[in-house]
A and B are shown apart, each in its own frame.
Chain A
Amino acid sequence: DQQVKQNSPSLSVQEGRISILNCDYTNSMFDYFLWYKKYPAEGPTFLISISSIKDKNEDGRFTVFLNKSAKHLSLHIVPSQPGDSAVYFCAASIQGAQKLVFGQGTRLTINP
């Protein structure tokens, strides 16, 4: 039972354009969401998060949007840079609980 789903295994975007990565979840109890970025041969690193009391959180080129009614969140990267090429994981948790549930990941490739 995959509670967090990233339906696009890969995404290719031209440098300078916007990258949009999507994530869906099924458990309505989730109230905290995170995005992690992973380079080859490295562990995932935290990128940005959002609490369910918000619908948007921005950090530089990265913005996460949350649509609770649709149980959907997205990560926008503007403008995309070659160094953004990595696998991006969406994760969710229930506040007060301790474990993160991850999606399958989306491989983002930024083309020069």
Chain B
Amino acid sequence: DAGVIQSPRHEVTEMGQEVTLRCKPISGHNSLFWYRQTMMRGLELLIYFNNNVPIDDSGMPEDRFSAKMPNASFSTLKIQPSEPRDSAVYFCASNLNPKMNTEAFFGQGTRLTVV
């Protein structure tokens, strides 16, 4: 398996523009997570899905952020409109069965820069 695949690897956009980050989880994994890494807060959980259903979006910072998982092999995280403080590395991770304490596998991340 190729692992968790995220695209794009790097994104530079102007303030106010819409940004869409994409993720393909490992085939067969039931859960998908979106994290954001910043220097101050480390890895913050934004939202996670179980069997394509959003379970907890309490980490989504504002209404400007939205996430979807239309099927088991694809998820998007959208920021509209984007702001400079959204600049960070965004990670997607998937887990076979987190209730059984299996580990999450991370993608390589998308480095977002909003100017």
Interface residue A65 (Cβ < 8 Å from any Cβ of B): no
Is the beta-carbon distance between A98 and B101 smaller than 8 angstroms?
no
A95: B residues at CB distance < 8 A: 99, 101
Contact at B43–A44, with CB atoms within 8 Å?
Answer: yes
Which residues does A use to contact B, with CB under 8 Å? Answer: 2, 6, 32, 34, 36, 41-46, 49, 51, 89, 91, 93, 95-105
Number of A-B contacts (CB under 8 A): 64
In the complex, are the beta carbons of B91 and A99 less than 8 A apart?
Answer: no
CB-based nearest B residue for A49: B103
Top 3 A-B residue pairs of the complex, sorted by shortest distance between their CB atoms:
A43-B106, A104-B42, A102-B43
> Which bucket holds chain B's interface residue count?
20 to 34
Q: Interface 1/0s, chain B 40-57, versus A by CB < 8 A?
A: 111111001010000110
Further 7 A-B residue pairs, CB within 8 A, beyond A93-B98, A100-B33: A6-B42, A43-B4, A43-B91, A44-B91, A89-B43, A91-B43, A97-B98
Interface residues in B59-97 by Cβ distance below 8 A to A read 91, 93, 95
Given contacts A32-B101, A93-B98, contact A45 B45 (CB under 8 A): no
Say whether, besides A43-B107, A45-B106, A103 and B4 are in contact (CB < 8 Å).
no
**Chain A residues near B33 (CB-CB < 8 A):** 99-100
Nearest-CB residue, chain A, relative to B48: A99
Whether A51 lies near B45 (C-beta < 8 A) is no
